[in-house]
Structure 1
């Protein structure tokens, strides 16, 4: 049964439990749970029976930057309309300009990563790049951490976030590097600036449907430090450019601001030769779930380094930023990022609707 709903200003969304067409042998575990004819979401987080979705403004997405889908409740901008109503000239620090990621912390708060620039490749606007924390008990923004010009540089695209105790780590896909943030104080610093482990390499194109993704300049798209995860024991940060491969570095060195830059750089070591991925999620046993873009697949890298394919389906074309819930279920937003107009001379090749799937991992 499909229930048609409205998201904010004309974002049509439907909720279903439908196995995708042409699925692989594992397909009974793959379910389509939501679709949209206007909102292009690349991020999802789930809290109890509430689903949060978000996506970048530059994709041509219409509707709110951040929306909530809840059982029996009409989808709506979250946490309110004001935060989703940014326009040029408005207060850059009090509204979402361009959300690229959302993530839950260990206390159940929802964090939003705002790149601060409404344009792909654009410089962050003054006070635009920020982290926004929403208290999900009150459904209110209770903290905003500005990522000032010393953290979000000209050309920066602050991409994603992971937490580790009192610290948070963020990747910069535009200016290669890692941002280390003291969550308590809101103070941060950039590390591994232009390090090879954080920089997209030549010869590793992002390929979907057999074709390399090309940026607005016509050249193969390069995405610098993008996916990242913290090991379950908190000892390692694993990261890499979207194109791979992945490296790792001890968090004890990242968290210590007195460690010289050259010592930190020397401590980075190879970790996994993963292909271009749309996003990842890590389980408590260290299993890394990732979206293999070239194969329209969801795969898992086991702690021993072996890799298994969970499902392959053309419906999973550019899965981005999976969310792994407490029951071992993966939530898979499918924004089809390579099909947006930006990468096709302004003419969108999106195949509507945009979908959200779930996959039982059986872990």
Structure 2
């Protein structure tokens, strides 16, 4: 993209809707009435967004925002054109998250299940790497029985060296991917550190309940790798978080029981929509109960950065090279599946952004 195009893209500011005014420190980067995005990644002047089908999203599964802030299918229409009955191996069935690696790749996590809580379709659960320079798909890692089981919901991905780590929010556990060999294995299956059940997810003072009317439980969901790559931090959506040294996860000779013994408590964090860790090890996360963005410093101190109703269920923040934090606001708890088939999502859905550092 030419410099002028990049400048114009970053200049896109969509006027806030009357329903969702935002505080002055936040900027509305884009809005949509078709996509319900819960993930964002930024590459220079390009902004990528994605969201799951079960949320009610009718736009692309993965999109690049154009100069007007409108989502265009990425990498192309074919990858975003899956319909029930189609071969799911080379198309997006249900994208849950995005993350960039350190070598110019955008990784897309496809749960492979069109429905929330449903089993992945055969061959559909996968991690797809797109080269950000060429825009072409360079790798598809299909998750087989060594990675996913009945009820799995592959949630997110992080990297260190020759390995990637993924959370399973459906069947509690972690998935370890050897990036060189493509081999996968599961660890911490059913372990307390990856399993929900001790707390409720509360938004606006109400317990979030699943379609069955019971309090919703989301197993291992958010995670981060420390800047030096030594630690993987993780936990169920409701918290708290644990940690384990990545060297134990990377060692295929370690038995499941030996790995379980290496898990330590790390931080008593609340239910969150998503997190991002900066180069200094500060953890930024969305506190669902308080409609807030917070920061956990390396000394354990937690500070509220901003709190506002416009931040209702911020999901998967992204910190770009300019230390701008991007905040997709899908309002997941308001999706129709949680309210008897009637969506309560306030339209349009917004993508917000905010500088993390004070102006100099």
TM bin, normalised by shorter chain, reads over 0.9
Alignment of 1:79-94 (within 5 A): 79-94=75-90
SS of 1:68's partner is strand
Correspondence for 2:5: none
Once residues 300 and 16 of structure 2 are traced to their aligned partners in structure 1, the CA distance between those partners, rounded to angstroms, is 30
CA 1:29 to 1:17, structure 2 compared with 1: closer, same or farther past 3 Å?
Answer: farther
Q: What is the CA distance between 1:206 and its match in structure 2? A: 0.6
Does the 8 A contact of 1:83 with 1:96 survive in 2?
yes
Does the 8 A contact of 1:166 with 1:183 survive in 2?
yes
Q: What is the CA distance between 1:70 and its match in structure 2? A: 3.5
Correspondence for 2:150: 154
CA 1:357 to 1:261, structure 2 compared with 1: closer, same or farther past 3 Å?
Answer: same
**Alignment counterpart, residue 309 of structure 1, candidates 284, 304, 312:** 304
Does the 8 A contact of 2:51 with 2:61 survive in 1?
yes
Tell me whether 1:287 sits opposite 2:308 in the alignment.
no
Gaps of 5+ in 2: 1-10
Tell me whether 1:264 sits opposite 2:259 in the alignment.
yes
**Alignment counterpart, residue 118 of structure 2, candidates 117, 122, 127:** 122
Correspondence for 2:128: 132
Does the 8 A contact of 1:15 with 1:35 survive in 2?
no
Does the 8 A contact of 2:30 with 2:69 survive in 1?
no
**Alignment counterpart, residue 217 of structure 1, candidates 212, 217, 242:** 212
CA 1:122 to 1:19, structure 2 compared with 1: closer, same or farther past 3 Å?
Answer: closer
TM-score (norm: length of structure 2)? 0.93
Once residues 227 and 174 of structure 2 are traced to their aligned partners in structure 1, the CA distance between those partners, rounded to angstroms, is 19
Gaps of 5+ in 1: 1-13
CA 1:215 to 1:284, structure 2 compared with 1: closer, same or farther past 3 Å?
Answer: same
Q: What is the CA distance between 1:112 and its match in structure 2? A: 0.2
Once residues 183 and 240 of structure 2 are traced to their aligned partners in structure 1, the CA distance between those partners, rounded to angstroms, is 29
Correspondence for 1:330: 325
Does the 8 A contact of 1:17 with 1:32 survive in 2?
yes
Alignment of 1:22-171 (within 5 A): 27-71=23-67, 75-171=71-167
Does the 8 A contact of 1:22 with 1:313 survive in 2?
no
Does the 8 A contact of 2:169 with 2:218 survive in 1?
yes
Tell me whether 1:318 sits opposite 2:313 in the alignment.
yes
Once residues 264 and 340 of structure 1 are traced to their aligned partners in structure 2, the CA distance between those partners, rounded to angstroms, is 37
Tell me whether 1:16 sits opposite 2:40 in the alignment.
no
Q: What is the CA distance between 1:132 and its match in structure 2? A: 0.5
Q: What is the CA distance between 1:152 and its match in structure 2? A: 1.5
Once residues 19 and 126 of structure 1 are traced to their aligned partners in structure 2, the CA distance between those partners, rounded to angstroms, is 42
SS of 1:315's partner is helix
Does the 8 A contact of 1:299 with 1:308 survive in 2?
yes
Once residues 240 and 284 of structure 2 are traced to their aligned partners in structure 1, the CA distance between those partners, rounded to angstroms, is 15
Once residues 161 and 146 of structure 2 are traced to their aligned partners in structure 1, the CA distance between those partners, rounded to angstroms, is 23
Once residues 121 and 113 of structure 1 are traced to their aligned partners in structure 2, the CA distance between those partners, rounded to angstroms, is 16
**Alignment counterpart, residue 168 of structure 2, candidates 169, 172, 193:** 172
Once residues 303 and 73 of structure 1 are traced to their aligned partners in structure 2, the CA distance between those partners, rounded to angstroms, is 35
Q: What is the CA distance between 1:136 and its match in structure 2? A: 1.2
**Alignment counterpart, residue 196 of structure 1, candidates 192, 197, 204:** 192
Once residues 160 and 239 of structure 1 are traced to their aligned partners in structure 2, the CA distance between those partners, rounded to angstroms, is 11
Does the 8 A contact of 1:18 with 1:33 survive in 2?
no
Correspondence for 1:4: none
Once residues 359 and 74 of structure 1 are traced to their aligned partners in structure 2, the CA distance between those partners, rounded to angstroms, is 20
Two-structure CA RMSD over aligned residues (Å): 1.6
Q: Deviations over 1:284-342 (max 9, x none)?
A: 10000000000000000000000111101101100000001111110000000000000
Correspondence for 2:234: 239
Once residues 335 and 108 of structure 1 are traced to their aligned partners in structure 2, the CA distance between those partners, rounded to angstroms, is 27
Does the 8 A contact of 2:160 with 2:225 survive in 1?
yes
Q: What is the CA distance between 1:150 and its match in structure 2? A: 2.5
Q: How many residues align?
A: 346
Q: What is the CA distance between 1:175 and its match in structure 2? A: 0.3
CA 1:301 to 1:88, structure 2 compared with 1: closer, same or farther past 3 Å?
Answer: same
Once residues 144 and 52 of structure 1 are traced to their aligned partners in structure 2, the CA distance between those partners, rounded to angstroms, is 19
